Structure 1
Amino acid sequence: YAVLSYGITELYALGIPMFVPTIDFIVELNLVIDRTLIDKSYCGRSLKFDDMPKQHTNSHHPFSPEDIISPEAIPYWLQFADYYQLPYIQTFSSWTNLIEKLSTTNFKTVHDNMHDENVRRKVELTKKWKSVFAKIDRVQRVIPQDYDTAIKQLWNTTRLQAI
């Protein structure tokens, strides 16, 4: 259970129903081991929490993202993991609860809901990116609609060749 996982993003995009432990249960299981930069999987055992920059004074968060000492910090930061932010990902609070949810969940409905959410997110993100591009490029260039047209416009050729 990586906090940032392209695998989970890809599974979600495919609409594959997922089950993850609740925040309390995942903390109890000690499954999230790559949440911070000081984790040994990233920086070895030599880096310590005290070596990290202190929390920014303007931060509105109660804990540094690198805090592994405060028991409240881990669940606080886990709430921002993709699998707790994306709707329709199922959570379970115990192994018994997982078995129960696996037996009673309507996987087709969850899949359909995830698909609808993906469509909604695509529309929303496309609008946001277009807004960003409009601010960056006030000239409003005409973007080629296909690769061949782009090559012709950019390099006045029909084919790029590697030497």
Structure 2
Amino acid sequence: MYSPPRYYSPKYNEYLYAPFKRNPFYNRYKAAISKACKSSYFNCPVVHIREKIKGRFTYSDINSFKAVIVFPYAVLSYYLADLITTTIPMFVPSPSFIVQNKISYDMKARDPSYCGKRFQEPPRHPNSKHLYSPEDSSEEATEYWLQYASYYTPCSIIFNNISHLVELMKTTNYSHVYECNLKYRQHIINHNKMQWNKLFQKIQVNRVMPTTWRQSLNWFGETSFY
């Protein structure tokens, strides 16, 4: 398992852009951030990781950057887990910024990438205290549910607009944020270990495992995998 540096010690002065796969927002926001930094007489080079590192990159490579600025297309993704693993300081847009600028498009089970037209919304749970259905596409509902996105950690640095982002880039104590990220990462590790241990205790010893797909369906009381 990867162990991030004990202390904040970036190798580069650049800010890393995420997600790592290029998307339509990259050039747009890189230019906007550069313009805002220039107006504030602040040097804040933003780079795509492929501009700095050729070929495969590692967790250590991510830790080499000063911080990362995330413009998330989804509420959960592998690259977000990578960022949390490295404990790199992370700037993320507020829910209102995401909704107003239509940055995220992978958020709901009814999206074309998932259930699409076959989606049938389950009934509201009688004990639910949430104000909206997670499948509600209204701006109010989307902003509400975004608060639970994986990139909003206790240590995330949240900005409301590009000017606000630049101000935070200038004033943030990166070492303190990094320390916060280290603690949050350890909290996740401890939590996951506890949950796995609980699960292992429930596994039936010497149980007979299904040997065919038909037996597997019968095991779960189902008639189809779909």
TM-score (norm 2): 0.52
* Conserved? CA contact 1:55–1:63, under 8 Å: no
In structure 2, how many angstroms separate the alpha carbons of the residues matched to 1:127 and 1:15?
Answer: 21
Deviation at 1:43, TM superposition (A): 5.9
Is it true that 1:67 corresponds to 2:136 in the alignment?
Answer: yes
Matched, 1:132 2:199: yes
Correspondence for 1:151: none
Q: Distance in 2 between matches of 1:124 and 1:32?
A: 28
Partner of 1:105: 172
Letter of the structure 1 residue corresponding to residue 125 of structure 2: N
Q: Secondary structure at the match of 2:202?
A: helix
Select 2:185's aligned residue among 99, 118, 122. 118
Measured in 2, the distance between the counterparts of 1:93 and 1:57 equals: 32
State TM-score, norm by structure 1.
0.70
Answering whether residue 107 of structure 2 is matched by residue 54 of structure 1, we say: no
SS of aligned partner of 1:91: strand
Q: Deviations over 1:3-51 (max 9, x none)?
A: 11111111111011111111112111111111123334x169xx45xx6
- Let me know the Cα RMSD of the aligned residues: 2.3
Q: Could you tell me which residue of structure 1 aligns to residue 32 of structure 2? A: none
Match of 2:96 in 1: 24
Percent identity among equivalent residues? Answer: 34
Check the 8 A contact 1:52/1:66 in 2, yes or no. no
**Alpha-carbon deviation of 1:137?**
4.4
1:89 aligns with 2:161: no
Match of 1:76 in 2: 144
Query: SS of 1:7's equivalent?
Result: helix
Residue from 107, 112, 116 that aligns with 1:35: 107
What is the Cα deviation at residue 109 of structure 1?
1.7
Structure 2 counterpart of 1:82, which letter? S
More helix by share: 1
Number of aligned residue pairs: 132
User: Does the CA contact (< 8 Å) of 1:54 and 1:64 recur in 2?
Assistant: no
Give the conservation status (yes or no) of the 8 Å contact 2:95–2:143: yes
Q: State the distance in 2 between where 1:37 and 1:125 align.
A: 25
Q: Which amino acid aligns with 1:89?
A: S
Higher normalized contact order (CA 8 Å, seq sep 6+, divided by chain length): 1
2:99/2:139 contact within 8 Å kept: no
